[in-house]
Amino acid sequence: MIDETKADGRIIASAMRLAGEKPWRDVGLAEIASGAGLTLVDMKQHFASKSEILQAFSRQIDDEMLRAAPPPTSGQSTRDALFEVIMARFDALAPYRTALRSIVGEGLPDPLMLRQLLASQHWMLQAAGVDTDGPAGAVRIAGLMSVYAQVFRTWLDDEDPGFARTMAALDRRLRSGERSLQALDDIAGIGDRLIRILARGPRGFARRPGERDAGAPFGSGVPGDDGGQPYPGAPGTQPAPPPGPRQ
């Protein structure tokens, strides 16, 4: 729950209460400050916009989710671990569902809020034991964002006390996303290897005999990954001799 013993917590709680009572577009900063028992001058020390308030709300939900989500167990599939984490997030959001309907009804989030939503996907993946570093991690974050956004809409309208529709939709989306992410992971892995090679500059394509990129397999089709031999004409190599006469 939101900690209302602090000023920023009171501001967030006031914003969510007002969003539950009227369209989010009609909620103003002065009204939020008044509901928190503060002046606009006081509020300015904490937040400059409604988007900043929503970002802080999302970060608090991240914290509550991370405290409540069970850690992944040995032998548990990534899909099952993510299922538990995402449901823990929905549990943390449950007291604010009416307010969230009002906020979501405003349309697409602004860039600041979108960045925070991507950060939340990062923490959900981390809680499920999934790496989020590098290009492959970015692909996983984007993939989970797609799954979460679709299931979130179902959760907002799910009136079943046990959220049966939400759990069914989440399981279905995770199974579908699992297949798609595996294919994208493979592509991201290739991109990661190419980035490491290109980062070496021109000399990255001309290695000493026996040297190879640890991230690229032999025969990968990347110049210089043919067993460690530099390509013909690379710096430090002799021109290839002309072909001898045919027999």
Give domain status of residue 106, yes or no.
yes
Q: Is residue 54 part of a domain?
A: yes
Q: pLDDT at position 179, please?
A: 67
Question: Is residue 231 within 8 Å of 224, Cβ to Cβ?
Answer: yes
Question: For residue 30, which phi and psi values (nearest 5 degrees)?
Answer: -65, -40
Which range marks the domain in which residue 181 is found? 49-198
Q: Is residue 236 part of a domain?
A: no
77 belongs to a structural domain: yes
> Most confidently modeled of 88-92, 225-229, 236-240?
88-92
CA angle 9, 89, 134 (to 5 degrees): 100
Round to whole Å and give the CA distance between 98 and 92: 13
**How many other CB atoms sit within 10 Å of the CB of residue 201?**
8
Q: Answer yes or no: is 120 within a domain.
A: yes
Q: What are phi and psi of 13, to 5 degrees?
A: -65, -40
Q: DSSP for 96-129?
A: GHHHHHHHHTT-SPPHHHHHHHHHHHHHHHHHTT
Lowest mean pLDDT among 5-19, 95-109, 174-188, 218-232: 218-232
Number of folded domains in the chain?
1
Helix, strand and coil content of the chain, in percent to the nearest 5, comes to 65, 0, 35
Min mean pLDDT across 14-18, 154-158, 230-234 is at 230-234
Q: In this structure, is residue 31 part of a structural domain?
A: no
Question: Greater confidence, 109 or 54?
Answer: 54
Is 136 among the domain residues? Answer: yes
In a domain, residue 26? The reply is no
Mind listing the pLDDT tens digit for each residue in 25-37? 999 999 999 999 9
**pTM for this prediction:** 0.72
Query: What pLDDT, on the 0 to 100 scale, is given for residue 100?
Result: 96
